[in-house]
Amino acid sequence: MPLILELLSILVFASIIFVWGVRYNNIKDEFKHFNLPSWVRDMVGIFKFSFAILLFNDNLELVRVGALGIAVLMIAALFTHIRLKSPPPKMLPSFSLLCACLAIAYMSSQLLPAC
């Protein structure tokens, strides 16, 4: 796996661990602020951790699935921020993670053997 792909994967994984582990109380407050039930928060967390783990697989197809899964969650987060008229700085983390995941998905798909 190329160095840039590994570094982006580490960056995405570390951000998810930091936000959903270290700053979990902030996540709980945000989901309450967005009027989302706790089961949605828990499902999002489970999906994020699961997709993040896939980023470290030797199988590039699974890396791509992990990156695209996180990207879909980040699109949903951005739409939630837009719906609630959050200020742009509040949207920056979701947008940054979306861009990083799309880059991982693109690079991993370029490394897959042609069918």
Summarize pLDDT for 62-96 with one digit per residue, the tens. Answer: 999 999 999 999 999 999 999 999 999 999 999 99
CA atoms within 13 A on the CB side of 65: 13
Predicted local confidence at residue 8, as pLDDT: 97
pTM above 0.85, yes or no: yes
Predicted local confidence at residue 48, as pLDDT: 97
Angle (CA) 51-94-35 rounded to 5° is: 95
Are 16 and 48 a contacting pair, CB within 8 Å?
Answer: yes
Radius of gyration of the chain from Cα atoms?
15
Are 53 and 66 a contacting pair, CB within 8 Å?
Answer: yes
Q: Which residue has the tokens 């489970």?
A: 46
Are 51 and 102 a contacting pair, CB within 8 Å?
Answer: no
24-63 confidence digits (pLDDT tens):
999 999 999 999 999 999 999 999 999 999 999 999 999 9
Angle (CA) 85-35-42 rounded to 5° is: 115
How far is it, in rounded angstroms, from Cα 115 to Cα 106?
17
- Which pLDDT band holds residue 115 (cuts at 50, 70, 90)? low
